[in-house]
Amino acid sequence: MTSPFLPDALCFLDGSYGPVKDARISPLDRGFIFGDGVYEVLPAYGGRIFRFDEHMARLERSLQELRIPNPHTREQWLAIARRLIADRQAAGAANQLVYLQVTRGVAVRDHVMPDGLVPTVFALASEMKQPGAGQRAEGVACVTADDFRWRKAHIKSTSLLGSVLARQISADVGATETVMFRDGFLSEAASSNVWVVKNGAVLGTPRDELVLEGIRYGLIESICRDEGIAFELRRVTREEVFAADELLLSSATKEVLPVTRLDGRPVGSGRPGPVGARLHAAYQRAIAAQSI
């Protein structure tokens, strides 16, 4: 029986295109049994993919960490994404997200990683749901929680139960995101990176195994360099987060989004600040310049 929640969209599964509602995989696929796989999400604006090579580099790093062979070249991934984008554009979706997933493949259930499996490849494009104008003008509210996830957060793994539980903490109280701390230091949000602005400088957490390095890491660093904004990656304490002049979220859908309330308290002046505004404006210029 087909779920009523499935979109009427074209998908790619193991070399073939067809309606996602008709797609089938084995229940012994290791992605289903173990979450043994990785994924990537490509934002596309007006049919053009933003920072494609950077997304592919992260997909390749994640596959290498899990010792799964990359089943496609970058040119093949691009062709798959473009066909799915064209299908959603024909349905009226201007801006889209292309979800790519690779699992280790199908095998009898065993924790040991078998050799020689054929990876399962799935891809689907869907409409990009972005923050509204009101959220950008007023900022959003977030809550905090301890980071209870595993210590390999740098892998963009399909094993996302920790992030699901973390995001539900904020959803339950009507907040936009859950900002997480590990041993008193900022890590990231459930599905976003977090940036602290203090005295005009942008602070972020180091590139290590405790956070997923968002594609916006390198982008925000380059924007800050071009804009003459001080930028530093280091351990950021919980106290520094609550004393921030501005607090920002970044992700494929949020782009750069101001946080104006944290755990019910105002961040800085309680209004979006000038550094976040400059980053967001430069981000829009980058979309026009760095999409293919």
What are the pLDDT digits (tens) for 23-52?
A: 999 999 999 999 999 999 999 999 999 999
- As a whole number of Å, the CA-based R_g of the chain is 19
Q: Is residue 156 annotated as part of the catalytic site, yes or no?
A: yes
Q: Which of 152, 156, 198, 254 is catalytic?
A: 156
What's the pLDDT at 282? 96
pLDDT at 230: 97
User: Could you tell me the pTM of the whole model?
Assistant: 0.91
Is the pLDDT at 2 greater than 60? The verdict is: no
pLDDT at 203 > cutoff 80: yes
d(C-alpha 12, C-alpha 29), whole Å: 16
